[in-house]
Amino acid sequence: MPYLNRPTRTMNSSQHNLSRSGRRRYTLCTLLFLALGIATVNAQSGQQHEALSNLQKHRQAALQEKLYLHIDRPVYACGDELWFKVYNVDGSLHRPLDMSKVTYVELLDADQKPALQAKVAMKDGVGNGYFQLPTTLQTGNYTVRAYTSWMKNFDPAFYFQQQVSIINTFEQLPKQEALKAKAYTLQFFPEGGNLLAGIKGNVAFKITDGKSGKGAMLAGEVLDQDGNKVVDFAPHRFGIGRFAFTPEIGKRYTVKLQLPDGGTLEQALPQIHERGYTLQLTDTTADYVHIAVQSAGKADEQVYLMGHTRQQVVSSEKALLQNGKCVFRVSKADLADGITHFTVFNTAGQPVSERLYFKHPTRELALKVAVPQQQYNLRERVQVDLQSASEALANASMAVYKLDSLQMAPQAHIASYLWLESDLKGAIENPAYYFSNAGKTDLQALDNLMLTHGWSRFTWDDVLGKEPATPSYLPENHGHLLFGKLTHKASGQPAPGIMTYLASPGKPIRFYNAQSDAAGRLLFELKDFYGNKDLVLQTDFTKDSTYHFELLSPFSTRFTAAHAPLQLPESRVGDITERHLQVQLEHAYYGAYRNRFHTPGIDSSAFYGQPLESYQLDDYKRFKVMEEVMREYVQGVQVRTRGRSFHFMVMNRPYKSIFRQNPMVLLDGVPVFNIDKIMAFDPLKVKQLDVVASRFFHGPLTYEGLVSYQTYSGDLAGFNLDARALMQAYEGLQQQREFYAPAYDTPEQKSSRLADFRNLLHWAPNIQIEPGKAEQVSFYTSDQPGTYLVVVQGITASGETGYQLQQIKVNGPVAQKQ
C-alpha cells in the first residue's frame, strides 16, 4: 500500500545518552507539549481504541518542532549576503514555540556537503541571521536547511529545506549539458492503498518530466491484458490526476502514455489484490465527509476509523462491515485545519487502509501591503504600510528585491510550508497555488495532491504496542549544548568519572564544568555564547593522568536527496553581468557600512557575580613580582609555601575562618591549577584581580574560594597553558548583522556620484504589526530601474499565518531636453 508501506522513519542511532539533568529536560519538554492544550476527541463508541492511546503516548514523547525560514530572495551572486528569518512553531498547532534557543542553519552544495554553517539565537520562537557568500562557491543550486537539536532525534526529511541558486560571476559559467531526450516517470497511487478485484476505486497518478522535475500534462489510457481500452485519463494540474475503474479478478492492466514526440511509455498498474481493504472518500456536501470502507475476501468484522491531524485525534468511530462495506460520516466542523490522516484498523487492531484529507485554515493572518503609488523614480523614498485583520500582534518579515530573468516571485510561503509541504512527501510544484484564490476553489487539484503525496511523520509500526523511544538529543531550552568526549590518550578507551573544565578566554568571563559519563561523554551548556572564540578544555592535571579531549560538532550528519542542477541559458547572461557589477559596486562604495553588528543584550558580568574583593591593580603600587602583589594588598588571600610550591588560602569571610585547600584560580576565565605558574606570571599584564572570599558552588563542584585574574586584553597575555589542554577555535551563536542600504533624504545624498546598483532594496526581519494599526516601513530605490517585489510574511501567537506580495515599478532616468 503506497501510504502504509512507505519506508519506516525511525529515530537516529544513539549518540548521546540522556544524563540525569538531560532526563529532567526531556520531562520538561513533554510537560510543555501537554501544556499547549492539545485536546483529544474520545471515541464515539465510548471506548478508547488501543491505536488512539498509543498515538497519545507517541505524541507526548515526541513533541514536534517545525521551522520555517523566510529567505530574502531566490538567486544570489558570490559576494552577496543571504538573509533569513527563522520561525519556530509547535508541529501540532503551528503556534510560535519558545522551546529551542538555538537553530542550526546550513548551506549545502550539490554533494550535500555543508558550504556554510551558522548557529542562530532564538527568542520567543523567532530569530534571524545571514550567510556571507564567498567567492570560493561554485555556480549551482544549493540547499538552505535548518533544524534544532531536538529535531535531530527525527528523520532529516523533517528539517526545513529550500533551494537557492548561487552564481559565481568571478569565474566562467559552467557549460550547459547538451539537451537530452526527455525521460518521463509515471507513478500510481490507489486510493486507500490497494486495488481490490471487483471493487471500483480511484487511482491517482503523477507524470513527471525527468528533465525539469515538474509535472507533465500528458494523456494516456489503461489497457487490459488483451489490449482492450478500459479507461482514458489526463492530468488535471501539475501532471497530477486520477481515474476510476473496477479491476477484474485475474486480469493484468497496463498504462500507455502518449509522449510529445509521438512515442509511448508503457507501465503496469499496481498489483490487483483479491483479499484486503480499501476506502473511498467523497467530499460532496458542505458539512460532512463520507468515507466508504470496503473489504474483499474477508469475513464481515468490526472496523475502526481514526482521523488525526498532526497527531491530534479529531475523529474516532467503530462500525460493522455488512456485505463487506460500511460508510462513516465525519463532520467537517470536528476536523482541524490542515491535513487529516484517516486510518482504518481491522478487528485485530492492524492499520489496513489510509487516506489524507485537507481542510483549508479557517483563520488566516490577512496581511495588507499598501504603497501610495505604483511607480517610483530612482533614489526615491518608498513607504509601505503594513496592516493585518487579526486581533493579535503579528511578527513579520519583509524583503524587497528586483524581478528579472534570474529570479521571479516565490512559489512557496510560510502558510504553504506549514500546512502542506512540511506534512507531505516529496517536492510539491508551486505549493503557493493551493492557497491562492484560484487554488482554494480548485478542490480537485488539492485532493489529487493528497492522494499522490501522502506521508505521515511516523509509521504505525513505530507506534502500536511500543514504548516511546528515548531521545538521543536534548532540547536546548536555555542555550547552546556543546558535547565533548574524553578518552585515555594511550588506549583510546573512554575515561569515565573525570571532572573537566571548559573556559573561553576573554570577556565576559564564562567557565563551565562537566563530569564524563560511562562512555566518556561530556556536556556543557554555553548560554549567551556569541561569536568566534577560543575554547580551552582540560582536567586538573595535578591530579589526573593524561587524556585526549574532543569537542563534537553540533551539526547534523544525516541528509536527504540532493537537488537538481542549475540551468543557465544564454538569455540570462545580461542579468548575470548586471549582478556582477552590482556586487562589485556595493563592496567598493558601501563595504565599510556592511559589517555592522548588534551587540546582544546579555549579562556582561563574570559568572561568579559581584566579588567580595576586587582590585584594579593600576590603582595600587605596581610590583614586578606576583608574590608581592598577593602579600601586600590582597587581603582575602594568604600566600603560603609547602615544600617548594606556592599555595593560596582564601578567607572564609562569612564564618571568619580560613580555607585550607587551594581555591579555584582563573586567568581570563581559564583555570590554572598550578599556583606556581600564576605566581610566575608578570603582574604588569594583569588589570584586575577578584576574590570570592567564601565557599563557591559551581555546577556539581564546590570551591573553597575563587581568585580571578584578568589581563588588559582578555587573551591570556602570553600565559603558557598546560600542553595537555585542548585549545580550539569555536563558532558560537551568530552575532546579528545590520542590513545596510543608503538613504537619500537630502539633495546632496541624491546627487551623490556613488553608484547604487542594489538588487535587494530592503530586508526587515523583525516587524511587529499591532491589531488595527498600520506599521510603516520605508526604504529607497536604487539606480536600477525595473520591477521590484515586496514580500511580507508573518505569524501571530495563535498560529495565524499570512503572506502578501506587492509589486512596484522603478522608472529609469528622465532624458534631458536639448
Do residues 755 and 590 lie in contact, with contact meaning Cβ atoms separated by under 8 Å? no
Are the CB atoms for 489 and 468 separated by under 8 Å?
no
| Residue 521, amino acid | R
Angle at 354 between CA 349 and CA 356, to 5 degrees: 140
Residue 110 is placed in which grid cell? Answer: 550539490
What was the pLDDT predicted at 211?
81
Along the chain (818 residues), what's the average pLDDT of each consecutive run of 10 residues? Answer: 33 36 41 37 48 71 89 96 97 94 97 96 96 96 97 93 95 70 86 94 94 91 95 97 94 94 92 94 95 95 93 91 96 95 92 94 93 95 94 96 94 96 91 95 96 77 70 93 96 95 91 95 94 94 87 95 81 90 89 81 85 95 95 94 92 93 96 96 97 93 95 95 94 94 94 94 97 94 97 96 96 63
Distance CA 718, CA 532 (A): 20
Amino acid identity of residue 816, one-letter, is Q
Ordered by where they begin, the domains of the chain are 184-359 (2.60.40.1930), 367-407+738-810 (2.60.40.2550), 490-545+601-732 (no CATH)
Answer left, alpha or beta for residue 125, where phi above 0 means left and psi between -120 and 50 means alpha: left
Q: Look at the block and give the residue holding cell 508573518.
A: 794
Helix (H) / strand (E) element for 657: namely strand 657-658
Whether pTM exceeds 0.85 = yes
| C-alpha–C-alpha distance, residues 638 and 649, integer Å | 5
| Cβ(119)–Cβ(734) below 8 Å | yes
pLDDT at 11: 33
Who's near 204: CB < 8 A, 6+ residues apart? 188, 189, 190, 191, 240, 241, 242, 448, 451, 452
Q: Helix, strand, or coil here: 398?
A: strand
DSSP 254: E
